[in-house]
A and B are shown apart, each in its own frame.
Chain A
Amino acid sequence: MLEAGRDLVSTGELWQAVLASSQRVFLGFFLAALVSVPLGVLMGVWWPAKAAIDPFVSLLRPLPSITWIPLTILWLGIGESQKTAIVFMGSWIYILIYTLESTKRVDPLLIRAARNLGASDFAIMRKVVLMAALPGIISGLKVTLAISWSCVITAEMIAAQTGLGAIIWRAKDGGDLALVLVGMIGISVTVLIADRIVDRLERIFLPWERARRG
């Protein structure tokens, strides 16, 4: 296994695969967060938005990302955008749900105090609810990142030339178990590093949480 791994690393193929997979994950994940975080805050504060969007969430939630593969291939072919779309489709709902839950947990006294200081509904959403829910939202993002990774690996196994998922799938066809294991370790290490980076960012962006985290 070490030999197979060394081969991949020396040809730079492993690194390229990591890069390819990472790019797809982060783009799809970032777009999902961009859509779902504001949506979740809006739904958490403004009940008409919640009433309108809840039925979609209920319908779409049970669908695993794999089921989106045929449709995305139809709409987007088998290029980069299709992989990104799979990550998006598998992730946005979870980010939305975590964000919604976090906004519901915001201390109503904080909202009351903000209103007493003259805040409008929109200001409350942006300056109070979003900030108060942020630690919870970021927890949700961390969990969803792991989900995003499993989406991209699945998508790559089914229809991709590059990426860690593709490596594993090709290795399987060649009966090369050692390569499969190398691919798996590649995934573990990449996700581990991504986690550490998010932790570091969390410490920077949420200085007030230092009290609880120590």
Chain B
Amino acid sequence: MNPWIRRWLSRKQEERDLSEELRAHLAIEAQQRIEAGESPEQAASGAARALGNWTRIQEDVRAAWGWAGMERFFEDIRFGLRMLRKTPAWTAVISLTLIFGVGLSTAIFSIVYGVLLQPLPYPDANRLVAIWLSAPHSAYTRFHINAALWLDWRTSSKLLEDIALTRPVANFNLTGEGAPERLQGAKTSFNVPRVLRMKPLLGRTFTEEEQQSDARVAVLSYAFWKRRFGADPAILGRKIQLNGELFEVIGVMPPDYQYPDAQFELWTPLYIPPDEIVHGMNSQYLCVARMKPGVSVGQVQAEFSRLMRRLSEEYPTAYGSGNDRVTALVEPLLESDAFQVRTTLYALLGAVGCLLLIECMNLAVLLIARATARAQEIAVRVALGATGARLRRQLLAEVMPLSVAGIGGGLLLASFILRVLVLHLPANTPRADSIGLQAPVVAFAATISLVVVFLAGLLPGRIAASNRPGFTLQQASRSITAGGQARNLLVIAQVALTLVLLLGALLFARSFAALLQVNPGFSKEGVLTMHLAVTRAKYRQDTRVADYYRRIVDRVESIPGVVAAGVVNRLPFSGIAQTGGIEFEGRADHYDSDWRSATPGYFKAMGIPLKQGRLFRDSDRPQTLAVGLIDERMARHVFGAESPIGKRFRRYLPGISPQDPWTVIVGVVGHILNDNLEQDPRPQVYWPETQHAQDRGALIVKTIGDPEAYAHSVVEQIHKEDPDQPVYDVRTMRQWVDRTLQRRTLLTGMVALFGGASLLLACIGLYGVVSYTATLRFREFGIRMALGARAREVYTLVVRHAVKLALSGCIAGLAIAWPVSRALQSLLFGITGRDVISWFLAPAILLFVALLSSLSPARRAAKTDPAVTLRVE
């Protein structure tokens, strides 16, 4: 056993031993005195006198044992607990403040930890990088790579061990046993598990030969295997029907294998047809690579910048030149999938940190007030010989029990907050399911709780220790002004930080309001949407796909209450797009656009207006004239005032000679936002589904009344047409739009909450200091009034104190807020960080609230009766 622990356990024994030793000493001394001729009584008292202060000796011996510090600390804590029990209201207020702060910041930290900090579950995950293509001077800073690049990079890179390719958008309609289901799957290169260093739980993963021969084999995710097959160990070798074809299950991956993310349920070999291996074509692949040991991300980035420079010189049509040049972006895999939420989460963490700091200062103000109220007691302690260090230790030990409340209550509150907050995380937040109170999160809560209490307890201790006991003991409480300056400074700092939070909240709220004003170009209300992917094995020819869609649309339109229905290949705001170049007959330029295939009813169902010409008709058939629509934005951009009707366009595919026939523009429709309300990256062009069929479709249904009420009957109609048709992602258009706003909703809501909370705290702090100072000055007010000052003037005196504090805080706050508002720029929409209204409103609100909180102490001071006040002292 550790000798310290043994000694600690045996310290009762040691105490007895010491008493006995001292008694023995007395006995020996007495004996000697008796022998010298003293009477026994004289001898006993003489011996005791010679020994001196028994208790003092015991204490000094104990100090020699080394327990003194610890025992005294526990004593102080016991004393502190007694004090806390004696003032339950005060204790409750302080504990609640602490729990609130610790709970909120722990909740935010656990999200940041789960999403951004927690290492990926793969071995040596810090050597994994994601590689994107990037056009730094455009809106496209991260986009997918093409197959030709993969092959080139795999042979050229010297710093990477291996590079793996994944096509994340792959639909698998699972039919056969059980209900038809659309699975989220991915087609991957054979080496993804090898790059991630993951072995299958059961069976094997597919080989390079299987990838090249497009073998019908599938590897299942653990979650899917459990959900659909009840974790059946005999799954290997079983054939499942995907998109109408039989695939053999050859492996099951362990639960940690979640690439590209947790939603993926199965992986099949990625067959790359030889004619797709063209630079610039089909940029649709995710790329993950493993760096060789000892290589840094920066080195790989440099290597890939070189590689891309060479490739853009070789293939200028594919990768551009000059400012438009496409380059590669290399980043750690952990950062890569969270890039969309990273700034938001760090902004939240910063805001909650601000709140915590304010709280810490608020706590300090309360503790200073308490220490001041105890000035008499403390002065007695000092007079009896307590040193400054001892006093500081004592005051600290007294408040430390509060931190236990902070940890316990904070964790409890955090788990509640998380339950709500996780549901409102942005739709694209990775690893959201792994957010929870993990060990580092608990450690975080404990640390901040201890640190906050420690910091808050430090200042009152110092102030108390600097009190001169003689002064305090002589004078009545009116002279206790120690800590006044510190309190003022703390309140000013609180006001300053509150201003920063308020400004942040205002900027976000104004951005949000600006966003809600944005018109997406389609109607959000009364529109039901759902996705269906066509099983091509069943509907092989394009015409059959188009006919299938048309039959579904006809059935849906027959439902009473349905105004219109249509199908489009990619639904706006659903997070996916199909984009590509367009060229016009007789013009050299090509234009980036959303490629859309739609049925005639789509435009009416979605509320996209026709601006010129006509929409698609049922009479547009494969054998009739190839027709198309372009949107207003494209029309204006390309043709200006000239009418585009009758002009011809076709897809522009870089690097290969055009094979598409020209399409005649028969109409111009309204432009819509495709991705979200914040960005407007591209115009749209449309082909009729009958002439340009696509196997993934979104069905859009315009209804009278609540669109959700129609979901059941619409799905029923689809299943009447084909009982094996899986339908997925059934949502109203309003829900899709709200989903893209989630990041902002979260940010605005949380920062507003933090801003409000800090306003309340700063208000309490200000009120406390102003009213306390006013109380101290009652005697002065009494004298002033006795000398002829009017109540009005005393009133002003108190209010002026509050306004002075708030003003100083505001000025300091504005200075801090300036760089902060610049850093927040990327999170704002429609306004800049220097938004005049926000910069005016934030200090105005603060000053107003400060004024309000000073009114009641001012009124009390003005009611001072000089006769009473002066007599009391």
Q: Do A and B come from one complex?
A: no
Q: Which residues of A contact B (CB under 8 A)?
A: none
